[in-house]
Every structure is written in C-alpha cells, then in structure tokens.
C-alpha cells in the first residue's frame, strides 16, 4: 500500500499527513501525504515537461504501455479490490467489478490510441486543399470522486494518455489509496516520469485552485457534485480552459403497464442499490403506472427486505456503509421531509450502527418533497405513481439534472417516443445497467458536458487543427 504522493516518477513523503479510514468500522487504514499548492505546481511542471516526450511517442508505443497497465490492473484485481473496499466500503464483488470496469477503459483507449484519424476536406476553391489533424491538448487535471476511486481515474486518464496528454490526478481525500495503487502499477507499466502524477491532499481547495488557474494545465476533467463542478467551471473560465464535467443526477426509473414486472424489479434493484445508492446514475425516482403499482411494489419490497448489509469484505454482503456522517444525515433528512409531507416508509428508514443506513422503501412520494429534486446518494427507493405517458415524461424531466434515465415497457412506438422525450444523456431501455467502456457516458443540463468512454471520449483530450493549403 502506497501512502506517498507520486510526482515526476518519485514517491514523495510529506511531513503533514491525513488519515484514511474504513467506513465499515471507522478504523484508521493509513496516513497519506497531504500535498499543498506548491506540490501541485511541481506535479504540473513535471507533467508539462513530460508532455514534450510523451506526445512524441508513436501511437503504437503509447498503446503498448497502456496495455501493460491494463494487464497489471487485471493481474492485481483481487488486491486492488480489497484495498478499494477497505477505503470505500462497497461489497468486494462490486469492487472487483469496478477494477475490471476501470481496466476496460484502459484496454479500449490503448486500442483507440492508434485511431486518432484526421480528415481531408474538399477545398473551397480549385487551388485549395484542406487537411484536418488532431493533437493532444496538453496537461490534464483530473479531479476524481470517492464513489468509484479506481474506475473514474482510468476513465479520464486512459483517453488522455492515449491522446498524448499527460495528467495530474487529484483523488478524493476519502479514497486516495486506490489512486496511489494505480500510480504504482503505472510506474511498473512503463510510463515515463511525469506522465502520470497523483497529488493527494486533505483539503481540495488549494490544489483545485492551482489546477484550474495554472496556465500550463490545458484541461480539467471533473467527476463530482454539481455544486463543486460550478465552482471549478468559474475558476477555469479566466483561462478559457477546456473542461469536462460529469456531475450529479436525478435518474427517473419508469415502469409502464406493459413492462415485464419481474425484469423491471431486477433492473431497479441493480440501478438503485449499486454502491449503496452512491452513484451518479443510481435510480433516484421510481415512477410506476398505477395499474401495476401494487404488483411492482410487492415484488420490490421482497427484494429490498432480502438485501444483506455488512462488511464489504465478507462474502454475501450486498450493501455496504455510506461514505460518511454527512451522507447519513442527508438521507435521514430527506426521509423526514418526505414523511412530514405525506410519504410512507414501508421498509427500513433508519440509521443502523456506524455508517450503515437500512435499505429503505418509501411510497406515496410526490413532486413537492425534497427527495423529488435531490440526488439521494443513499439506499432509498422512492416510489411515485402515474397515470399517463405525458404525465410521467413531465415528471421525469422536471429536474435540473439530465444524466441517466431508465424505463421499462414493450410498446415499440412508445419506447421511441419516451427515449426521445427524456432530457437525459443516457437512457436505459428495459435495463438498469448502462455503464460500459464502449458507450459515451455523460449528461446534459446541470449534469454536465463532455463524454467519457467510447470513440467519443478521446475527443475531449484532442484539439482539432485544420490546415488550408493553396497550390499554384
Ligand atoms: C458515477 O457514479 O459517477 C459513475 C457510475 C458509472 O460509471 O457507472
């Protein structure tokens, strides 16, 4: 387990450290280097110098190093997953899934590194020729969240590195150990010093400010809350930095009366309780058509009641702890508000010991409650009912967020209408699982912009240059 920062290929000790704790039992796991603004500037300098080298590696050479990194992640998946569960709390099966998911971005972009094609455009005159090339942007600042401490790093860093950019990663102070483990494997994979840097810190403000205001950083890629995203956007605006923002969500999960109810319940459980409800694309509002509401709620209740909470490292655990006290308080207060306005808790609803919150089902929820507008980020399934397609589309789109949406139904004409009518960047149709390296992940509205994964994901790390040739 590495606990020093990783800057310019060196492991850096700091006098000042911060503790990382296990959310399962609050125990101390490690003391990690607490970097400051000066360390962030050093990392940027290293990345800036290394950019001149890395961008000039052939695509094939960059690709081979990325492939080495992917293979090392897969080879060490068990150890990486154990570390991830220990600092984050999610069940080990999910942590293994995250390591594989994270490695799949590295594999995908190792392949895409060789396919950064340009264009030849018919000129605008007989003597004109136009060519288009794509070039790496430069140094990228990647600010990553605690809910996916490994995969959100590889999802940003792999396309950046494939494009020829270099990176400075600032992981969450709650989960820096997975980031440092990735750095150790990057070193082993053969990235030259300075290409991949990790700046760990307790207080994100100073390092975040350096990343967003140092002119050597050409792009910021952030995953986290809309509130912090807006701040980073403002800070980045002065230098007109390129930015990608993967922010909050408020995912609707709609079940139409012609849906296969068993399948819908399965999809709902998967998208609601993944990571104890702590993902940006977790189902946040479940809308069920009135005629099948009783059947759906009964089946959903049975599944929620059967969920096993506990230590993520123990076999059979399905729901881990929440990340911190603030998450517990937020969940409890959303439920209190909903109940005060007429909602009924039918399962759970209470804090358990430590950072555990009971998997919860709440019914008779309505648009006037805070839970309708707020990203819950906890294990609470909130069920609304509706009568018509028009009504549910209005409710589903009644939010400033636009990340993921899901719906179940079989009428193909309605499937098209609803899929097109949902103001979201991603739509799951008869599925609750939409995350994959081969598709463009990202949102609209206040859920952000930019795409991660797929052929589109690398574009965010490339500048387009066009050359106009005049031939005599
Ligand atoms: C997120 O919660 O930000 C990412 C979820 C995913 O990639 O599936």
- CA 113, 188, 68: angle at the middle one, nearest 5? 35
Instruction: Give the pLDDT mean for 34-51.
Output: 98
pLDDT tens for 409-463 read 999 999 999 999 999 999 999 999 999 999 999 999 999 999 999 999 999 999 9
- For the chain, the domains span 5-247+447-470, 251-436
Dist. CA 126 → ligand 1 center (Å): 50
Q: Could you count the other beta carbons within 10 Å of the beta carbon of residue 318?
A: 18
Which of 147, 376, 442 has most ligand 1 atoms within 8 Å of its beta carbon, as the pocket-test mutant?
147
- Please check whether residue 135 is in contact with residue 84, taking contact to mean a CB–CB distance below 8 angstroms: no
pLDDT tens for 334-382 read 999 999 999 999 999 999 999 999 999 999 999 999 999 999 999 999 9
Instruction: Give the pLDDT mean for 21-42.
Output: 98
* β-pair partners for 344: 363
Please give the mean pLDDT across all residues of the chain.
98
Total length of the chain? 472
- Please check whether residue 406 is in contact with residue 267, taking contact to mean a CB–CB distance below 8 angstroms: yes
In whole angstroms, what is the distance from residue 194 CA to residue 452 CA?
23
Q: Is the pLDDT of residue 289 over 90?
A: yes
Which of 88, 150, 281, 452 has most ligand 1 atoms within 8 Å of its beta carbon, as the pocket-test mutant?
281
Per cent of the chain over pLDDT 70 is 100
pLDDT tens for 90-120 read 999 999 999 999 999 999 999 999 999 999 9
* β-pair partners for 58: none
Q: Is the pLDDT of residue 199 over 90?
A: yes
109: its two tokens: 């972009």
Global pTM reads 0.97
Which residue among 35, 165, 201, 280 is the active-site one?
280
Q: Distance of alpha carbon 53 from its chain centroid, rounded?
A: 30
- Which residue has the CA at smallest separation from atom 8 of ligand 1? 435
The reply to whether 246 belongs to the active site is: yes
Distances (CA, A) of 87 to 180, 310, 313, 314, 320: 12, 14, 11, 15, 12
Q: What is the pLDDT of residue 94?
A: 98
- Please check whether residue 130 is in contact with residue 122, taking contact to mean a CB–CB distance below 8 angstroms: yes
Distances (CA, A) of 398 to 241, 368, 377: 31, 11, 19
Q: Is the pLDDT of residue 194 over 90?
A: yes
Q: Does ligand 1 come within 6 angstroms of the Cβ of 435? A: yes
The reply to whether 268 belongs to the active site is: no
**287 phi and psi angles, rounded to 5 deg:** -110, 120
Q: What's the sign of the alpha-carbon dihedral 451, 455, 460, 461?
A: positive
State which fold the 5-247+447-470 domain adopts: Aldehyde Dehydrogenase; Chain A, domain 1 (3.40.605)
Q: Distance of alpha carbon 319 from its chain centroid, rounded?
A: 19
Instruction: Tell how strand 28-33 and strand 17-21 pair up.
Output: antiparallel
Superfamily of domain 251-436 in CATH is Aldehyde Dehydrogenase; Chain A, domain 2 (3.40.309.10)
Residue with tokens 């895409």: 112
* β-pair partners for 309: 319
Which residue among 98, 246, 375, 452 is the active-site one?
246
Instruction: Give the pLDDT mean for 151-157.
Output: 98
Strand (E) or helix (H) holding 383: strand 380-386
Dist. CA 138 → ligand 1 center (Å): 25
Q: What is the pLDDT of residue 472?
A: 84
């Amino acid at each position: 387990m590495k606990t020093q920062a990783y800057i310019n290929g060196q492991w850096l000790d700091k006098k000042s450290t911060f503790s990382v704790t296990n959310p399962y039992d609050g125990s101390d796991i490690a003391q990690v280097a607490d970097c400051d603004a000066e360390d962030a500037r050093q990392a940027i300098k290293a990345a800036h110098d290394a950019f001149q080298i890395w961008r000039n590696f052939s695509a094939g050479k960059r690709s081979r190093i990325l492939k080495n990194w992917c293979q090392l992640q897969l080879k060490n998946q068990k150890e990486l997953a154990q570390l991830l569960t220990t600092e984050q709390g999610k069940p080990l099966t999910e942590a293994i899934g995250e390591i594989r998911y994270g490695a799949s971005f590295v594999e995908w972009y190792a392949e895409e590194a060789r396919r950064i094609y340009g264009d030849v455009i018919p000129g605008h005159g007989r003597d004109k020729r136009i060519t288009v090339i794509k070039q790496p942007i430069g140094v990228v600042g990647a600010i990553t969240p605690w809910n996916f401490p490994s995969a959100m790093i590889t999802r940003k860093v792999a396309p950046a590195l494939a494009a020829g950019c270099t990176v400075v990663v600032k992981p969450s102070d709650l989960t820096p150990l997975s980031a440092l483990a990735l750095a150790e494997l990057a070193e082993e994979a053969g990235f030259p010093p300075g290409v991949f840097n990790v700046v760990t810190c307790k207080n994100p403000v100073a390092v975040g400010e350096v990343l967003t205001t140092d002119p050597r950083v050409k792009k910021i890629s952030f995953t986290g809350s809309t509130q912090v995203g807006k701040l980073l956007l403002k800070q980045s605006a002065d230098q007109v930095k390129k930015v990608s923002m993967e922010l909050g969500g408020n995912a609707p999960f709609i079940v139409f009366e012609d849906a296969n109810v068993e399948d819908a319940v399965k999809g709902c459980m998967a998208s609601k309780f993944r990571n104890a409800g702590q993902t940006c694309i977790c189902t946040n509002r479940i809308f069920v058509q009135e005629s099948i509401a009783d059947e759906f709620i009964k089946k959903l209740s049975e599944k929620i009641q059967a969920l096993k909470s506990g230590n993520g490292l123990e076999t059979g655990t399905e729901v881990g702890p929440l990340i911190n006290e603030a998450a517990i308080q937020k969940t409890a207060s959303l439920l209190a508000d909903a109940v005060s306005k007429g909602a009924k808790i039918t399962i759970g609803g209470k804090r358990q010991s430590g950072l555990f919150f009971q998997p919860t089902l709440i019914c008779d929820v309505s648009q006037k409650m805070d839970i309708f507008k707020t990203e819950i980020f906890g294990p609470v399934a909130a069920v609304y009912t509706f009568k018509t397609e028009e009504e549910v589309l209005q409710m589903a789109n009644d939010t400033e967020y636009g990340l993921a949406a899901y719906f179940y139904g079989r009428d193909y004409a309605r499937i098209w209408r609803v899929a097109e009518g949902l103001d979201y960047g991603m739509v799951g149709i008869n599925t609750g699982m939409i995350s994959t390296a081969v598709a463009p992940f990202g949102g609209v509205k206040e859920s952000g912009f930019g795409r991660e994964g797929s052929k589109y994901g690398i574009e965010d790390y490339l500048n387009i240059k066009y050359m106009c040739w005049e031939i005599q």
